Amino acid sequence: MLLTTCVFDAYGTLFDVNAAARIAANEPNRETFKEVWPSVSNQWRLKQLQYTWLRSMTHSYTDFWTVTKNSLDYALESHGLHENLELKERLLALYWELQPYPEVSSILKNLKTKGIKTAILSNGSPEMLNSAVKSSNLSGVVDEIISVETVKIFKPSSVVYEQVENVIGCSKSKVLFVSSNGWDIAGAAGFGFETAWVNRSKDPIDRLPNKPAHILENLETIPSFFDK
């Protein structure tokens, strides 16, 4: 069956999760943070993911913005920066307008010219996702923004992937799901989507069931999947 719909994860796939820390580190009077920002950013992201999994497992859902703030608190404290409230507020503000990867706008425009339905399926709250899409000037090339907030459980629960069928009204066999997260790809493949793993860091494949159907270095070749 021909693919008709392209669904993207947001954070790490369309939007660079390291952008907030990188931008803040290069602002004036941030010499201390500039030395450790890669470590802070990596730990911020890792805790963010871990907290979503743990909250799903323990049935203690909270919105992704709360998870993001809790994760940053942990990362800053572990680097001795938790008393720098101005830095914390700046990082959180920047997270609402994360930079997209360089190829994102052009590939989304390409998909739209092909008549392909485009969507975001993300752990992010609707407000966070709408802000990132708007600040990146992507509003005209993203048809649907689907948040886990509607089902109140995080990926990789199959309930989340079901929302694509519920919201868009298409069969899962017509969906190409694109993510930079191996665990997300495993969940989506297990649900029945065709999957493309964007492996920007050249990481090994996760030792999980349901491997990615395609492995890409970036998003540039995504439109070619719809030329069949």
Q: Which long-range contacts (C-beta less than 8 Å, at least 24 apart) are formed by 132-136?
A: 132/10, 132/14, 132/15, 132/96, 132/97, 132/98, 135/96, 135/97, 135/98, 136/14, 136/15, 136/97, 136/98, 136/99, 136/100, 136/104, 136/105
The pLDDT-based confidence of 227 (bands split at 50, 70, 90) is confident
Q: Are residues 174 and 222 in the same domain?
A: yes
Q: Are residues 113 and 212 in the same domain?
A: yes
Which of 73, 95, 117 corresponds to the end of one domain?
A: 95
Q: Are residues 109 and 220 in the same domain?
A: yes
Statement: residue 228 has pLDDT above 70: no
CATH number reported for the structural domain that contains residue 86 in this entry? 1.10.150.240
- Our count of domains for the chain comes to 2
Q: Are residues 54 and 113 in the same domain?
A: no
Q: Are residues 47 and 87 in the same domain?
A: yes
Q: Are 122 and 146 in contact (CB under 8 A)?
A: yes
Q: Are residues 125 and 202 in the same domain?
A: yes
The whole model's pTM is what?
0.96
- pLDDT (0 to 100) of residue 1: 60
Domain assignment of residue 29, given as a range: 19-95
What are the catalytic residues? 9
- Give pLDDT tens digits for 119-175: 999 999 999 999 999 999 999 999 999 999 999 999 999 999 999 999 999 999 999
Distances (CA, A) of 132 to 52, 89, 135, 142, 205: 20, 17, 5, 12, 28
The amino acid occupying position 128 is: M
Looking at every residue in the chain, the average pLDDT score rounds to 97
